[in-house]
Amino acid sequence: MQQCAVSPDGKWVAFEYKGNIWKVSGKGGMIEQLTHGPSYSGYPVWSHDSNNIAFANDEHGNFDVYLMDTEGKNIDRLTFNSARDIPYDFSSDDEKIRFGTDRHDIYQSARFPGDQIFSKLYEVPISGGKSILVNSAGMDLAHEDQKGTRIIFQDKKGLENTYRKHHQSSVTRDIWVYDIKAKTYQQVSSFKGEDLEPIWGKGDEFYYLSERSGSMNVFKGFVGDTSRVLQLSSFSRNPVRNLSRSANGRLVFTYNGDLYGLTEGKEPQKLKVFSKAVMSSGKIDKMPVRDNITEMALSADGKQIAFICRGDIFVSAADGHLTKRITSTPFQERMVNFSPDGRKLLFSVEQENSWDIQEIRLKNSADAYFYNATGFTVQNIIATGQDEFQGLYSPDAGKIAYIENREVLKCYDLRTKTTRILIPEGVNYSSGDGDQYFSWSPDSQYLLAQSTEGGGGFENDVVLIKDDGSGKRLNLTQSGFIDEKPKWGVNGAMMYWLSDKLANHSFTLTGAHRDVFGMFFDHSLFDNLQESQLDTALNLKRISKLKLPNNLLLNKEGFPSARMSRVTADLPDALLSPDGKTLYSLNKYQENYDLWKTNIITHQHSLLAKLNIVEGKMQVSTDGRLLFILSKGNILIINTQDGKVSPIPIDTVMEYNTSAEREYLFRHTWQMVKKRFMFPDYGGLDWDGCYQNYKLFVKHINNDYDFLGLLNEFLGELNTSHTLARYTPVYQKRDQTAALGLLYDETWNKDGILVKEILKGGPFDLAKTRMKPDMLITAIDGQLIRKTEDWAALLNGKSGKQAVVKFANISGEVSYTDTVRAVKPETELNTLLYNRWIRQMEHLTDSLSHGKLGYVHVRSMNDEGFRPVYDKALGKYKNAAALIVDTRYNRGGSLHEQLNDFLSGKIYLTERRQGRITNGGEPLSRWNKPSCIIMNEGNYSDAYLTPYTYRRMGIGKSIGMPVPGTGTASWFETQINPSLTVQIGVGATYGAGEHSPTENSQIDPDIRVANFYQNILNGRDEQLETAVKEMLIGVK
């Protein structure tokens, strides 16, 4: 039970359970269900007269505000915008519902357009109609006092796991009071950790939840004396959540999944609740296999395809006419491969507390294929207490190469039952399960593997290993660039791999284009390649006789190599035909990937098939006639002769048990942390004890919203950044409120929509438009806009479509009509509003400094974030005296090294022409004048490491607010339920010579300055102003 709310008269407690809203007597007793149906209903709020309940429901693909009576009847939908609308409170007269929403900021604001961060407070009449803005400060869980003169709320300064526990940093939430008449804000909590969920008491009294005692408990505060704090509960193990209060002063909240009541001065009492029926948390759900395939493997004869769908193994005939489900478990099977004869399947499975490698065999000798087999047998092949992954049969079927604990490459001999280490611990570091790459030689004596060779980063080399127990390996590429995905070609006489060493690299050295290179163990092949005589050399008779020499590892001079691809391109995968004459590759020259072929003999590079896919993994049949490509959950067959593309028609529907799957996923998350978390002692936390406590709740959950909350409560115990779960629901039908590229007066409570600004680059940014600020939109597509209706409904489903907009001057004397193409709401936010904010900041910098300073914002720590910085700093602002580098609300990436290197330029060379000194000097590609960094609580991850290293390098001053210690490397994993992703902090960073990690080590700015609500919302950025003043010191 969660999201509880006691009625003001104290008679009832409403709460969410299993995706619906229920109520129970304030004294406990039998629970009554109020909402029904497959969509999620939650966040109940009582009217002050206790006669109605507002709640949120996601039936239309987003949370909207609904209203019902206390019996769950007379349900009305009140909001229609595709933003996330969550009710907080009723107005004092019960005529309106106040709700929080992630809609746009007010047009006067100078704040970064972070809709997800700053919740806007709106209200909507209980009879329905236009939603009206109450306050844009960023008010979470806002409540108005009885007199209607003040609003108490919890703030939000940045994005973090909402359920993270025990952290004390600048991003933790505080409690504020807004004086409606005076329009002033007062912070009324001062603890450095979390202060949450404020509700009013009598007069100046308020109640809230805080971790100031260690665990989250109930406290009482006083607006007139913020130093006075009273603790009302003393729970020690789990957090108190969902605080509410009745008119007679009784507090109700949840603790450890139960409802509690608390009268001030007494001990909390658990409410005993009962149910008439046993309510199942699980069900057998169905999903199509098509569009949901995540892995595939082709049998050696090309007649069977094994694939993974939602963690289970299927095998299909290569033409798709018959498909059979091989496994049916709630846990996941992965990394499936066929034996050379096609009668066995090798796969990894996590069924208990570790990953094991198992084998499935055809049971009956008369069966030739898995897809029509009459029976199977399953046995463990490698099953220890360690994690074993990526089992791969040797071509002679006598051995299995595999990965132990994600990083150690081993070989298991099926004949002698012995194991050999091929690459030991400490050489490679995994970034995700299944990310190591290796392949057997055709004679089963050697392996090729990509390996960092102890470098610790991502710059892989290709190594050659002989499986003789010696443990020796030969680095074949020895490159500072990235070499990956090595494969054997021409019966083992050569190998080929992907490399970015000839590519034009990005600023961050990531995402570079690649080439395919070949290395030749048979020197005659290389000679013939150089002389373009491969047509003679590569004949099937000769290929079949090629053998690898036994002394490959003794070659210290290296083997000859050559570029095999003709064009450097965005190239994720490539395959050489079995005869070695044709290279097939997925190349992106335009928007998406297509299949290309390169004739190794003539060097002709041509399009084989237009695929237009966003990603793909390839396999080729033994005879080289067919290519199989897995892309976006489907398998395509491409005829290599004519390029004909045929999707495999897999029409199978799979069933799965949602309850059993969630139990597995929760155990899997626990195990992921045990084996991947950066601190082996979990920071002193009893992680196993946490698991035993939290797993008890899984059986009570029947939906992914509540499961997400449980995962984040669980992961939040670790008190670490980058450690949380995310849920991206998929809806069959979803409202999307299109945008017109306009900013409005959201307080306008009359008919029509009052326009205040036309966004540059938006739909109305037209030369011929007569739209201007203070025009009134009166109709959209012929539908009049009245205050009694939510006009967002008129734009739902209109993204990318023409909209006929009728508008007039505010007096209504003259009207006009324009037809524009509406855009997606995220386009308006991420492009139009962001660019508008940049222009605001540039204008403020220019006007405040009288043109002497430059301004750049680093939006993200990647190549896309750095290019505008480089472009403007060395272009638009090349003659500026100093540069302001704004990193606020940057969520990270991997750029701190490149950015700080760019900002640390020192002139070492100047030039004179005919005796005149030219402007500037070298280095030419770095900023060599003063700079400062603006930062705040919303910086995260690499946007923490950037000011951290900026300071350590002594480049300049930092200005703004402290940045939480979040400089941690993380690992993402999409679960077998693909709508769920789990992220875990796996790599702690330490400053050189430091013994404490950057995690939870906050950076304080050199000059501390906050942006107060009343200023930033009215166009004044105090942090930027301070930065300008600081940079002007000493500037001529």
Kindly report the CATH class assigned to 386-564.
mainly beta
Residue type, 516: V
- The whole-angstrom distance between residue 513's C-alpha and the CA centroid of its chain comes to 24
Tell me: pLDDT of 341 over 50: yes
CA 135 – CA 1018 distance, rounded (Å):
12
Among the ranges given (169-173, 323-327, 451-455, 882-886), the one the predictor scored with the smallest mean pLDDT: 451-455
State the pTM of this model: 0.95
Burial class (CB in 10 A: 0-12, 13-18, 19+), 859: buried
Percent pLDDT > 90 in the chain is: 88
Burial class (CB in 10 A: 0-12, 13-18, 19+), 922: middle
Tell me: pLDDT of 51 over 50: yes
Per-residue pLDDT tens over the stretch 385-442: 999 999 999 999 999 999 999 999 999 999 999 999 999 999 998 888 889 999 999 9
pLDDT at 547: 58
The average pLDDT across 1004-1009 equals 98
* Strand 85-90, strand 76-77: pairing: unpaired
> Taking Cα atoms as reference points, which of 3, 163, 25 lies closest to residue 88?
3
Mean pLDDT estimate for the chain: 94
Contact, 571 vs 515, CB < 8 A?
A: yes
pLDDT at 391: 97
The average pLDDT across 526-532 equals 66
* CATH (residue range 2-274): 2.120.10.60
> Taking Cα atoms as reference points, which of 838, 773, 612 lies closest to residue 112?
838
Per-residue pLDDT tens over the stretch 98-135: 999 999 999 999 999 999 999 999 999 999 999 999 99
* Structure tokens that stand for 735 in this block: 């409202």
* Strand runs labelled E in 531-673: 561-563, 574-576, 582-588, 593-599, 605-613, 617-620, 626-631, 634-639, 645-647, 653-657
pLDDT at 977: 97
> Taking Cα atoms as reference points, which of 431, 416, 363, 350 lies closest to residue 389?
350
CA 1028 – CA 932 distance, rounded (Å):
9
CA 593 – CA 566 distance, rounded (Å):
17
> Taking Cα atoms as reference points, which of 111, 158, 172, 160 lies closest to residue 136?
111
pLDDT band at 278 (very low <50, low <70, confident <90, very high): low
Tell me: pLDDT of 228 over 80: yes
Question: What ranges in 383-428 are assigned the alpha helix state H?
Answer: none
Per-residue pLDDT tens over the stretch 358-367: 999 999 999 9
* Strand 882-886, strand 853-857: pairing: parallel
pLDDT at 555: 67
Handedness of CA 141, 142, 143, 145 (dihedral sign): positive
Kindly report the CATH class assigned to 742-823.
mainly beta
Tell me: pLDDT of 200 over 80: yes
DSSP string, 375-388: -EEEEEEE-SSS-E
CA 7 – CA 257 distance, rounded (Å):
19
CA 42 – CA 34 distance, rounded (Å):
11
The average pLDDT across 460-486 equals 92
Burial class (CB in 10 A: 0-12, 13-18, 19+), 764: buried
Contact, 62 vs 80, CB < 8 A?
A: no
pLDDT at 531: 60
Question: What ranges in 850-903 are assigned the alpha helix state H?
Answer: 863-871, 896-903
Contact, 755 vs 774, CB < 8 A?
A: yes
Tell me: pLDDT of 298 over 60: yes
Q: Is the peptide bond before 923 cis (omega within 30 degrees of 0)?
A: yes
**Buried-state track 486-523, b at ≥16 Cβ within 10 A, e below 16:** bbbbbbbbbbbbbbbbebeebbbbeebbbbbbbbbbbe
The average pLDDT across 787-794 equals 97
- Residues noted as catalytic: 722, 941, 999
Tell me: pLDDT of 489 over 50: yes
CA 318 – CA 371 distance, rounded (Å):
10
Phi then psi for residue 121, to 5 deg, are -95, 120
In three-state secondary structure terms, 252 is strand
Per-residue pLDDT tens over the stretch 922-973: 999 999 999 999 999 999 999 999 999 999 999 999 999 999 999 999 999 9
Per-residue pLDDT tens over the stretch 831-845: 999 999 999 999 999
CA 455 – CA 1036 distance, rounded (Å):
47
* CATH (residue range 828-965+1000-1032): 3.90.226.10
Kindly report the CATH class assigned to 658-701+703-735+967-990.
alpha beta
Beta-carbon contacts of residue 6 (< 8 Å; ≥ 6 apart): 12, 13, 26, 46, 244, 245, 246, 250, 251, 252, 261
The average pLDDT across 602-609 equals 93
* Structure tokens that stand for 313 in this block: 């193994």
pLDDT at 920: 84
Domain boundaries, given as residue ranges, for the chain:
2-274, 386-564, 658-701+703-735+967-990, 742-823, 828-965+1000-1032
> Taking Cα atoms as reference points, which of 228, 10, 28, 169 lies closest to residue 721?
169
Contact, 619 vs 575, CB < 8 A?
A: yes
Tell me: pLDDT of 658 over 70: yes
Tell me: pLDDT of 811 over 90: no
Give 737's DSSP letter.
B
pLDDT at 540: 47
Tell me: pLDDT of 764 over 60: yes
Residue bearing tokens 């006092």: 145
